[in-house]
Amino acid sequence: MYNIEVLNSELTKKLGTAFMTDYVRISLKDDPSKFCIMSQHFVDNYLEKIKNMEIFEDDVWVITFPKCGTTWTQEMVWMLGNNLDYETSMKIPLDDKFPFMECSGIAKEFPVDTFGMATNQPRPRYIKSHLPIFLLPDQLWTVKPKIIYVTRNPKDAAVSWYHHYRNMAMYKGTKADFIEAFSKDLVLFSPMNNHVIDFWNIRFQPNILFLFFEDMKRNLPQEVKKVMKFMDKNYSQDDIDKLCVHLSFDSIQKNKMINKEDTIQQISAMTGQEYNPQKYSFIRKGKIGGYKQELTITESDMLDEYIKKAEYEIEYKF
């Protein structure tokens, strides 16, 4: 069913992190254009388990390419699905309420089994994934639970992914190398274009809601109402206004249950790095167009060429 190719180019070697060095390209044997960059550890231990995972109709999934508003959307979805339970939200980490299914498949030494966390939740289960369509559970397409898909313009996604690589995975390479690798579909979970387009093409299915990060930034109440309707929930305008305050950038960045301060501290301790919350926050900037202050002309042009490859199928928002 799959071809597995070990990636050992000089550029790929430069992407090595404290937690992952064994990059592989997983592709479909009957359609090599469908591929994803993952780890050998994922192939050996999680690929088949995830494909054969039991799915329930009342599951709720948030699926994205990394750094496209995933965490923000998870908190919105969990709150809407749980009667706006602010008390529980402020007591239990988001990763526990809404597990990142394949996270423990990325690094060998990951301290918990996130696949087990996702599958063993009480129903209705809330599950996050960055996997592309062809690596997700087969039953997802027959049982058809609710899926909220979110994307973002690739320039901001690439810059945010770079900062995540540096501060969460302890990547020591340069930004130039990372942006080049992103544009050549070599970073983890790549390719972004294919990831987005595959979901864009099925966006009209009744169990799928397709969102843009930029729309959430520009009119959050509108997008909250859209998700509320999709989830068959009904809240008052006052409820929506209060939720939007809870979901504001300043609120989320200060919320330790969402902003993963403890996780960053643990990673820093494991790798001997200095923990500096002023230098890096998991909820970092949350801006549209933040790439303009960070990319060189060469890096920006490289990503422009990347975006052009997808323009005939999807128009990203800026």
Provide the residue ranges of all domains of the chain, joining segments of one domain with +: 2-308
pLDDT tens for each residue of 48-83? 999 999 999 999 999 999 999 999 999 999 999 999
Is 195 designated active site?
no
pTM beyond 0.85: yes
pLDDT confidence bin for 261, thresholds 50/70/90: low
Alpha-carbon distance of 237 to 175, in angstroms, equals 43
Question: Which residues are 5's β-sheet partners?
Answer: 25
Contact 199, 27 (CB under 8 A): no
Given the residues 130, 163, 164, 195, the one annotated as active site: 130
Percent of the chain whose pLDDT exceeds 90: 77
Alpha-carbon distance of 223 to 213, in angstroms, equals 10
The stretch 171-179 carries a mean pLDDT of: 93
So what's the pLDDT on residue 274?
59
The stretch 36-50 carries a mean pLDDT of: 96
| Start-to-end C-alpha separation, the chain | 37
Residue 32, φ and ψ in degrees, nearest 5:
-60, -15
C-alpha torsion 308→312→315→316, nearest 10: -40
Would you say residue 29 has pLDDT above 90? yes
More confident residue, 193 or 168: 193
So what's the pLDDT on residue 49?
96
The stretch 264-273 carries a mean pLDDT of: 53
Residue 38, φ and ψ in degrees, nearest 5:
-140, -165
The stretch 242-258 carries a mean pLDDT of: 84
Arithmetic mean of pLDDT over the chain: 90
More confident residue, 168 or 222: 222
Percent of the chain whose pLDDT exceeds 70: 92
Would you say residue 264 has pLDDT above 60? no
- Residue 156 class from Cβ within 10 Å (0-12 exposed, 13-18 middle, 19+ buried)? buried
The stretch 186-210 carries a mean pLDDT of: 97
Q: Which residues contact 303 (CB under 8 A, 6 or more apart)?
A: 154, 155, 158, 179, 182, 183, 291, 295
pLDDT confidence bin for 262, thresholds 50/70/90: low
Provide the greatest CA pair distance for the chain: 55
So what's the pLDDT on residue 111?
80
Could you tell me which CATH number the domain at 2-308 has? 3.40.50.300
C-alpha torsion 173→102→5→153, nearest 10: -60
pLDDT tens for each residue of 81-114? 999 999 999 899 999 999 999 999 988 778 889 9
Within 10 Å of residue 10's Cβ, how many Cβ atoms?
A: 7
So what's the pLDDT on residue 265?
54
pLDDT tens for each residue of 128-150? 999 999 999 999 999 999 999 99
So what's the pLDDT on residue 267?
53
